[in-house]
Structure 1
Amino acid sequence: MKKIHINEPELCCLGLFRVALSEDTHEARMRAIDVMRHEVVSLGLSNFPFGAGKTKGKAKNDKFVRWVAETSVERYEAAHEYSEISKRYDGKNERKLNVAEYVGKLIWHSIQEQDFTGLYVAGGILERVRKIARDEGIHGARDKDVVSKTWVTYRGVVHLGMAIDYCEENPNQGLNVLQVAERIRRGLSQNCPKKTSKPYVSSDDQISFCYISAV
């Protein structure tokens, strides 16, 4: 399992990291996460008081300014990569990630109901997804093999998007997205379909997002 530490500014931009997870290989996701970190920094630079007078923590600010200058080339390259990642996301990857997250939601519901429905059995979760997609005309989820491949590709990262959706749907509960994501991640990796001994998702395939305080 790969752990990714998220700082305070990044916590406000989790949607960008979900976009990074839409890349279809682990290596591409890791690079995309680095790209999104640069994007978060770029978004915050417009609010930084460059050229301002004396401020508290001036030494720290000076160090940050030097770092900004030293990493400008990296941010320029990352901006280009961000554009390409966004194009892939808008073109096809968002749709595939949405399908995988929907599969994850059905699994999570099955776990909560203590049904532990299988993925590949007759009447199982993948068959349900295919039927819903066929009935509602959802592209990319009407073929069982395609749904299965999509799930295998994204099963290790669906928990973040699932958590974002859940928190958006329950805004008055004061939920922490990363805590919800971690709960879902553990649930998927610690529970097995009935009559099997393998979890829905191996922890080896997962990416865990952890908040790291700057304090």
Structure 2
Amino acid sequence: MQAIKNVKHDVVAWQIDMLSGEHGTCWTSDPNNAEFVQWVAKSSAQRHEASFEFLQTTRRYEDKNNDKLNIAEHFGELIWLSIQDKNFEGVQTDRGILQQVRDDAKESGVRGARDRDTLREIWGTYRGVVHLGRAIDLCENYSGQKWDVLDLAELFRKGLSENYPKGTSQPYVSPDDQISFVYLSKLSGPRFRDPGLPFYVD
């Protein structure tokens, strides 16, 4: 949550830089911007500290968590595909999602994903954010499409929290365990469907 707050500060700093790039410093003398200019001045130190903290968070993530999050995202991908295929495979059954992730890890030589207990721990830790990682991956892989990453993240989040493995009454990921990105979408235009994706995007 602290990292998210720091990102917000980073976005504000980017917006101020963009504003200055487009209008120079003239916007600072506009009486209509007086309150905003005062806020910019008062919060400058806070933004500087947030930028430093965010860099530290990024380094820690890359050093310790990147591989684990990638493994968790593979869980999410296999679950999503199982939902789309109407198979609703279990996570911990004999040939379920966990075993499939383990087999894929062995085949690809991925470290830290061959032990079942380690995989359970990774899934338990990161399942609440895999929908965002999946959305980011899709936006990167289909960069030509004008998708909103948070729209996709919400779509995946609902899929994981509203569908159940066969024979169970619990969703793949409880909504209580998920980070939800609720906001007003600026994405507009006709519905379209990419042949490689099993859903429509507004």
1:188 aligns with 2:160: yes
Query: Match of 1:176?
Result: 148
SS of 2:26's equivalent?
A: coil
Aligned positions, number: 184
CA separation of 1:60 and 1:190: change in aligned 2, threshold 3 A: farther
TM-score, length of structure 2 as denominator length: 0.82
Distance 1:117 1:176 in 2: 29
Tell me which of 28, 34, 38 is aligned to 1:66. 38
1:53 aligns with 2:26: yes
Distance 2:156 2:132 in 1: 8
SS of 1:36's equivalent?
A: helix
| Structure ranking higher on relative contact order (CA contacts 8 Å, 6+ apart) | 1
SS of 1:131's equivalent?
A: helix
CA separation of 1:51 and 1:183: change in aligned 2, threshold 3 A: closer
CA separation of 1:87 and 1:167: change in aligned 2, threshold 3 A: closer
Query: Match of 1:35?
Result: 6
Distance 1:43 1:194 in 2: 47
TM-score, length of structure 1 as denominator length: 0.78
CA separation of 1:178 and 1:54: change in aligned 2, threshold 3 A: closer
**Does the aligned pair in 1 maintain the 2:151–2:185 contact within 8 Å?**
no
SS of 1:211's equivalent?
A: coil
**Does the aligned pair in 1 maintain the 2:136–2:149 contact within 8 Å?**
yes
SS of 2:180's equivalent?
A: strand
SS of 1:146's equivalent?
A: helix
Tell me which of 178, 186, 190 is aligned to 1:206. 178
> 4+ runs of 1 displaced by more than 6 Å?
none
Query: Match of 1:109?
Result: 81
Q: After superposition, give the CA deviation of every residue in 1:19-49 in whole Å (9 maximum; x if it has no partner).
A: xxxxxxxxxxx11100111112223332232
Higher strand share: 1
| Higher Cα Rg, which structure | 2
CA separation of 1:41 and 1:126: change in aligned 2, threshold 3 A: same
Aligned-partner residue type, residue 34 of structure 1: K
1:51 positional shift: 6.3
Distance 1:38 1:52 in 2: 20
Give me the CA root mean square deviation.
Answer: 2.2
1:177 positional shift: 2.0
Instruction: Map residues 151-166 of structure 1 onto 2, 5 A cutoff.
Output: 151-166=123-138
**Does the aligned pair in 1 maintain the 2:139–2:149 contact within 8 Å?**
yes
Q: Tell me, which stretches of 5 or more residues in structure 2 are unaligned?
A: 187-202
Aligned-partner residue type, residue 134 of structure 1: K
Identity %: 49
CA separation of 1:108 and 1:54: change in aligned 2, threshold 3 A: closer
SS of 1:207's equivalent?
A: coil
Distance 1:62 1:153 in 2: 45
1:75 aligns with 2:47: yes
Distance 1:84 1:51 in 2: 31
Aligned-partner residue type, residue 183 of structure 2: Y
Query: Match of 2:199?
Result: none
Q: After superposition, give the CA deviation of every residue in 1:135-190 in whole Å (9 maximum; x if it has no partner).
A: 11111212111111111111111111101212332344443322221111111001
